[in-house]
Amino acid sequence: MAALLYLKHVYALSDEDVVERWCENPYWQHFSGERYFRHELPCDPSSLVRWRQRIGEEGCEWLLAHSIEAATPGWRDQAP
């Protein structure tokens, strides 16, 4: 779910579009932790809505911020 949320945010996609593109893209599947290519949707798009509601807006922001931080090592150490 976290990988789907990140991909949805980065590519500005709807819930339906992100799960459909995930199904077609082996790189997105690998990024999401899959070991083998899957031909079925990772989840129903409505599951993304329920998951976001469960963690709330603050949880979504925290998750996205930490995902970006993990992808850019040392960004806090750089002077502005």
Q: pLDDT tens across 17-71, in order? A: 999 999 999 999 999 999 999 999 999 999 999 999 999 989 988 988 888 887 7
The rounded distance, in Å, linking the Cα atoms of 7 and 14 is 10
pLDDT of 78 higher than 70: no
Q: To the nearest 10°, report the CA torsion of 49, 53, 55, 57.
A: 100
Report the alpha-carbon distance of residue 31 to residue 33 in Å, rounded: 5
Its domain, for residue 65, covers 2-35+42-53+60-70
CA atoms within 13 A on the CB side of 57: 0
Which of 56, 60, 49 has its CA nearest to residue 16? Answer: 49
pLDDT at residue 75, rounded to an integer: 57
CB atoms within 10 A of CB 6: 19
| 76 within some domain | no
Instruction: Let me know if residue 80 belongs to a domain.
Output: no
> What is the domain count for the chain?
1
